[in-house]
Amino acid sequence: MAKTSTDTEIGGALALRAEPVAPRSWRMRRTKLDQRLSPYAYVSPFFLLFIAFGLFPLIYTAWVSLHSVTLQNTDEMEWVGLDNYTRLLHDDRFWNAVVNTFTIGVISTVPQLLMALGLAHLLDSKLRGSTFWRVSLLMPYATSVAAATIVFAMLFGRDFGLVNWFLGFFGIDHIDWESGNWTSQIAISAIVTWRWTGYNALIYLAAMQAVPKDLYEAAEVDGATRWHQLRHVTIPGIWPTIVFTIVISTIGATQLFGEPLLFGGAGGHSGGADHQYQTLGLLLYEQGWFNFQLGRAAATAWTMFLIIIVAVAVNALLASRGRSAFTLGRKAREA
Amino acid sequence: MIAVPRTRRFFGKSVGERRGGPLTYAVLALVTVFAILPLYWTVVAASRTNADISKTPPPLTPGGNLFSNIREALDQVDMFKALLNSLVVSGAIALGTVFFCTLAGFAFAKLRFRGSTVLLVIVLATMMVPAQLGVVPLFILVAKLGWVNHLQAVILPTLVSAFGVVFMRQYLIRALPTEIIEAAVVDGASTFRIFRSIVLPAARPAMAVLGMLTFLTAWNDFFWPIIALSSQNPTVQVALNSLGQGYVPDRSIILAGTLIGTVPVLVVFALLGKQIVGGILEGAVKG
């Protein structure tokens, strides 16, 4: 095709600069329209699907939560005002689930992220077989929640579990992991930690590789040990990523569902005989799909959403303080 | 194996070449054992009898009962149907996600349009939206459409991902020179023609990685499938849920069922692990 000067002008219009190129022919007008509108068409599937299946249901949850809706007849919604919420807040099971979700969240997230940080630090050096290490650390992530939980429930079995057998060497008697309050929550946290530590380590590793190398060189000239480098160069350097993983883990921990559901085997939705590991996610599922009360389930879901907002805000606040602690430490050292 | 640093810089070791010492390898080996052990034990227990794995000390090597256990597990749950359904669901989600994310990634990477920065920030922000909590209205919607127990109920809601959009954008910014696109515009190519003839071929490696990651995530998705589907038309995770919550007393049979639902993805993962790891490292940088 012959290149004319007008064609070149259209080329410049790709960037949609404000150059006044008067459309002189139908073809040119079509090209201009294509360049102006196509980008929106290309990003629209993402936004349309997100609005339809992500944002709209989440917001509509608030509306459903003000109604009585049953699973058997989802067409009939009866207005009940805030009844579902008052009922929820007066329900011991709800507060039990709040506490369980919080404790499991803490004992699964904190060790997980700390270990991931340490692992990433180890991986961030010249290693033989680095691909092998990375792939094997990611195998748990590739294992599904359901499969991992079925296997771990047996590993933590009272009579024939490998964990109790191993603890036997240290003179520890058979622990009934499932029935205990703390023991069941520790076991469930172990599943979460097992599945996510390697993944988070890779996220941290990616961030660490982007930290400028001359910072490490300067630290080494100062005689900083590897531990000092981790504390004063690496951690401040990857802080945004750390905050990101904290936020994502908080959101994930608040919605924890599959691990406690399958850990108890049959009837897992109640979270153990004493509901000792029933999380908010399980409570929601029980209300909606075992007690058939979708309105109450929606109230729980919306409450969880508010809890997530508060938890993320608190974590973000702590994180910003945490960062200043690290940078203050560095400044003090530099002084 | 322990690596001995072979070369040392004259003035101490340089940071760029910081090598792992014996301790590094020891710790990594230990962690790897922990990462692999539950999977290895699954193979051991699934290939033995229930009586075998109830012994003290427990067996630590595979036995010869794998196939009979698998046959019994298949009697309990329809794992073939589950595998086929999971293949259809994960395949459709992977294809859709790769296509839509490449399209959007291309627009964000190479086309300038009003509001693109704001839209990109919104895409990033959606990663933080706990969409799972919208499960009640989503279920009501699916019930109204008559989709409960149908595969489209689990395919449609997960057909895009914010991670995918960001990931493809990153890749295209780096891998596709803007001059090529400008030249194509000069030649009179439409934007979609450019996408088809230039962007798609150039994006192929990243599309493959995104496809694998999406397939894996879709295969392992749990919460929504067990609500939208049932054991009559299960995906693998729904079948595992019935198996794990069911009343099969035989642990070796439960684990045999778990194994056939898990091995396909783990094998693919082990074979393509390098690319998948690379993808996570790549996508995480701007995450």
DSSP states of B59-105 as a string? P-S--S-HHHHHHHHHHHS-HHHHHHHHHHHHHHHHHHHHHHHHHHH
B119 in the same domain as B220: yes
Looking at chain B, the whole-number percentage of residues with pLDDT higher than 90 is 66
Count the domains in chain B. 2
Q: Which of A17, A46, A75 to mutate to test the interface with B (most CBs of B within 10 A)?
A: A46
In a domain? residue B159: yes
Query: In whole angstroms, how far apart are CA B266 and each of B55, B216, B219, B259?
Result: 28, 9, 11, 10
Q: Which of A3, A14, A155, A159 to mutate to test the interface with B (most CBs of B within 10 A)?
A: A14
B residues 149-208 near A, CB within 8 Å? 156-160, 162, 165, 181-182, 185-188, 190-192, 195
Give A-chain residues touching B56 at CB under 8 angstroms.
Answer: 160, 165
Q: How many CB pairs under 8 A join A and B?
A: 336
Q: What was the pLDDT predicted at B15?
A: 46
Phi, psi angle pair for A67, to nearest 5°: -130, 165
In a domain? residue B164: yes
At A272, list the tokens: 């153990």
Give residue B77's pLDDT band: very low, low, confident or very high (50, 70, 90).
Answer: confident
Q: Which of B32, B133, B275 to mutate to test the interface with A (most CBs of A within 10 A)?
A: B133
Please state which of the ranges A64-68, A76-80, A265-269, B128-132 shows the lowest mean pLDDT.
Answer: A265-269
Spatial separation of the C-alpha atoms in residues A182 and A193, rounded to whole Å: 16
Q: Please write the tens of the pLDDT for every residue from A309-318.
A: 999 999 888 8
Residue A96 has pLDDT above 60, yes or no: yes
Residue B13 has pLDDT above 70, yes or no: no
Residue B287 has pLDDT above 60, yes or no: no
Rounded to an integer, the average pLDDT of A95-110 is: 97
> What is the torsional sign of CA B97, B102, B108, B114?
negative
- For residue A67, the surrounding DSSP H or E stretch is strand A67-68
Give residue A11's pLDDT band: very low, low, confident or very high (50, 70, 90).
Answer: very low
In a domain? residue B151: yes
Q: Please write the tens of the pLDDT for every residue from A32-63.
A: 888 889 999 999 999 999 999 999 999 999 99
The distance of A67 to chain B (nearest Cα, Å) reads 12
Give residue A31's pLDDT band: very low, low, confident or very high (50, 70, 90).
Answer: confident
Residue A70 makes CB contacts below 8 A (sequence gap 6+) with A76, A292, A293, A294
Q: Identify the bridge partners of residue A70 per DSSP, sorted by sequence position.
A: A293
Q: Per DSSP, which regions of chain B are E strands? A: none
- Cβ distance A184 to A177 under 8 Å? yes
Give residue A231's pLDDT band: very low, low, confident or very high (50, 70, 90).
Answer: confident
- Cβ distance B64 to B129 under 8 Å? no
Task: Return the higher-pLDDT residue of B72 and B155.
Answer: B155
Residue B11 has pLDDT above 80, yes or no: no
Residue B135 has pLDDT above 50, yes or no: yes
Q: What was the pLDDT predicted at A13?
A: 40
CB contact under 8 A, B19 and A199: no
Q: Identify the bridge partners of residue B249 per DSSP, sorted by sequence position.
A: none
Q: What was the pLDDT predicted at A265?
A: 79
Residues B121-141 as b or e (16 or more Cβ within 10 Å = b): eebeebbebbbbbbbbbbbbb
Rounded to an integer, the average pLDDT of A24-34 is: 81
B69 in the same domain as B82: no
Residues B195-221 as b or e (16 or more Cβ within 10 Å = b): beebbeebbeebbebbbbbbbbbbbbb
Question: What's chain A's average pLDDT?
Answer: 88
Angle at B201 between CA B195 and CA B203, to 5 degrees: 85
Q: B59 preceded by cis ω (within 30°)?
A: no
Please state which of the ranges A152-156, A262-266, B279-283 shows the lowest mean pLDDT.
Answer: B279-283
B residues 197-256 near A, CB within 8 Å? 216, 219-220, 222-223, 227, 236-237, 240-241, 243-247, 251, 254-255
Residue B286 has pLDDT above 80, yes or no: no
CB contact under 8 A, A203 and B38: no
Residue B252 belongs to domain spanning: 1-8+20-76+247-261
Spatial separation of the C-alpha atoms in residues A236 and A26, rounded to whole Å: 57
The distance of B262 to chain A (nearest Cα, Å) reads 7
Residues A249-277 as b or e (16 or more Cβ within 10 Å = b): bbbbbbbbbbbbbbbbbeebbbbbeebbb
Number of CB atoms found within 10 A of residue B267's CB = 10
In a domain? residue B99: yes
- Cβ distance A264 to A180 under 8 Å? no
Closest CA to A61 of B135, B128, B224: B135
B114 in the same domain as B33: no
B176 in the same domain as B87: yes
Rounded to an integer, the average pLDDT of B100-109 is: 96
Q: How far apart are the first and last CA of chain B?
A: 34
Q: What was the pLDDT predicted at B248?
A: 74
B180 in the same domain as B42: no
Task: Using DSSP, state whether A24 is helix, strand or coil.
Answer: coil
- Cβ distance B201 to B106 under 8 Å? no
B104 in the same domain as B47: no
DSSP states of A252-314 as a string? HHHT--HHHHHHT-TTGGG-STT-TT--HHHHHHHHHHTS-BHHHHHHHHHHHHHHHHHHHHH
Q: Residue ranges of the domains in chain A?
A: 87-334
Give A-chain residues touching B159 at CB under 8 angstroms.
Answer: 45, 49
Residue B203: which CATH number?
Answer: 1.10.3720.10
Give A-chain residues touching B137 at CB under 8 angstroms.
Answer: 56-57, 60-61, 64, 298
| Nearest residue, CB atoms, A255 vs list B38, B45, B133 | B133
CB contact under 8 A, A151 and B42: yes
At B270, list the tokens: 């082990």
Q: What was the pLDDT predicted at B191?
A: 92
B71 in the same domain as B91: no
The reply to whether B6 touches chain A by the CB within 8 Å rule is no
Residue A328 has pLDDT above 80, yes or no: no
Phi, psi angle pair for B59, to nearest 5°: -65, 145
| Nearest residue, CB atoms, B132 vs list A15, A135, A255 | A255
Question: What's chain B's average pLDDT?
Answer: 88
Q: Please write the tens of the pLDDT for every residue from A173-230.
A: 999 999 999 999 999 999 999 999 999 999 999 999 988 888 888 888 888 887 888 8
Task: Using DSSP, state whether B177 is helix, strand or coil.
Answer: coil
| Nearest residue, CB atoms, B284 vs list A47, A206, A302 | A206
Residue B10 has pLDDT above 60, yes or no: no
B218 in the same domain as B142: yes
In a domain? residue B281: no
Closest CA to A155 of B144, B44, B121: B44
Q: What was the pLDDT predicted at A223?
A: 84
Q: What was the pLDDT predicted at A159?
A: 87
CB contact under 8 A, B38 and A148: yes
Rounded to an integer, the average pLDDT of B26-40 is: 95
Rounded to an integer, the average pLDDT of A17-26 is: 57
Please state which of the ranges A72-76, A199-203, A255-259 shows the lowest mean pLDDT.
Answer: A72-76
B257 in the same domain as B228: no
Spatial separation of the C-alpha atoms in residues B96 and A322, rounded to whole Å: 41
Q: What was the pLDDT predicted at A264?
A: 85
In a domain? residue B267: no
B59 in the same domain as B164: no
The distance of A202 to chain B (nearest Cα, Å) reads 6
Q: How far apart are the first and last CA of chain A?
A: 67
Give residue A29's pLDDT band: very low, low, confident or very high (50, 70, 90).
Answer: confident
B202 in the same domain as B105: yes
Give residue B38's pLDDT band: very low, low, confident or very high (50, 70, 90).
Answer: very high
- Cβ distance A154 to B45 under 8 Å? yes
Q: Please write the tens of the pLDDT for every residue from B176-205.
A: 999 999 899 888 899 999 999 999 999 999
CATH number of the domain located at residue range(s) A87-334 in this protein: 1.10.3720.10
Please state which of the ranges A4-18, A254-268, B48-62, B249-263 shows the lowest mean pLDDT.
Answer: A4-18
Q: What was the pLDDT predicted at B17?
A: 54
CB contact under 8 A, B251 and A154: yes
B132 in the same domain as B104: yes
Q: What was the pLDDT predicted at B96?
A: 97
Measured in whole angstroms, the distance separating CA B160 from the mean position of its chain's CA atoms is: 14
Spatial separation of the C-alpha atoms in residues B198 and B216, rounded to whole Å: 28
In a domain? residue B201: yes
